[in-house]
Structure 1
Amino acid sequence: MKMPASLIGGLLFAILSLLSCRQNSSSFALSPEETLRLAASSDYKVTPQDGRKFMGQQGYTFVDVRPASAFARGHLESAINIPLQHLLDKESRAFFSKNPGTIILYGKDEAEANGPCLLLRQIGYENVHLLEGGYEYQLAPDSVQYLPPEQPHYDYASVMAKAIEEDRREEEATRPKPAPQPVVKAPKEIIPQKKTKPKTAEEEEGC
């Protein structure tokens, strides 16, 4: 059975996300906790309606993360193709760095590009956004109402939360334990014994 592209994308970026959590946090613009908060919001998303308005406009670049074969069969107007496996290549990162406009990522559906978009935001590309609904919804008639997925195929927030917890446990396990301190016994208090003066013969006779 052929694995869906969105699931492949989710698995790929789950691995990349876990690896990113284990690198020096100074390499990223957002901490794992900040990325989790972003994932729980809609600040990085572009609605399907806005996506249609932005197509072909100056200052907006659509990036299709589907395989090249799928891109060749059809894609959004003026979109460029950067498949998932090449999204973090040197050439791709140079493209993201040099593009001052708004970059909108999309996949077959919303789930396929969600993880990649969040990872790019974590790296520091604040102008990268996610197209809600993905390519398939853009093909639907305008009369079809967009409904956000209740259970996305790729739960980036869950992956990040697990990675943070694993890092915390690993850090605690590898943290050097303090050397045991020698037990210093308190000095024993010596109470001087009062010497009993021997009784004299007169004292004994007086008794």
Structure 2
Amino acid sequence: MAIEEEEEEDGVNFSFDELQDAYENLFHEYKNVCLKNKSLKKNAMSISKEIENLKSENSKYISEIESLKNKNSFYLNEIDILNVSSKLSIDLKEENEKLKLEIDALKKTFSKFSNSSDKLDNLLGLQRCVFDKAGLGYEEMNNVKHFNNFFIKKVEPKISCNYCGRLGHISTSCFLRKNIGKTKKVWVPKGTTLTNPQGPKFIWVPKI
């Protein structure tokens, strides 16, 4: 038992210098740990400030993202409207092209009618023989003289009497024809004078 106690005393015994050196080492380590703790606290403060700044920036970005989403929805609506308007414009262009084709066809038909009417007027204005077969499309039409249309009578004919030959009345209303019993026309050579202009006296005698 005495031997064991001596061994334990030999293992626990430290000198003052050793203890002082150990204390100084621990004190230096403590200072280093305190300095590290201060630097870590500073880093933690700066990191917390950065986190707050990042949170504020994140909130700003979130608000900007929401505004961009609203703008995106607005632009999508405008794009839909533009698509509808483009479809309508395409339909209107197709209808316009169809109408242009119809107008061109109508112009061609009207030009045909106008050309045919002009040619008909030229044919009606020609004074030619019935057996002259020169017609539409011949070069002889360019050398023919055109006259007024003979189907239209511009000057009305004057009325003349077939009995007396005077103008202004007809034979049914002729004054000389109505007075045929009172007056009588006698043919004489030109330059002679009548001796008995009244003529001989006639007496009616009944037939036996």
Task: Normalising by structure 2, report the TM-score.
Answer: 0.22
Max Rg structure: 2
Query: Which is strand-richer, 1 or 2?
Result: 1
Query: Which is helix-richer, 1 or 2?
Result: 2
Task: Normalising by structure 1, report the TM-score.
Answer: 0.22
Question: Greater relative contact order (Cα 8 A, min sep 6): structure 1 or 2?
Answer: 1
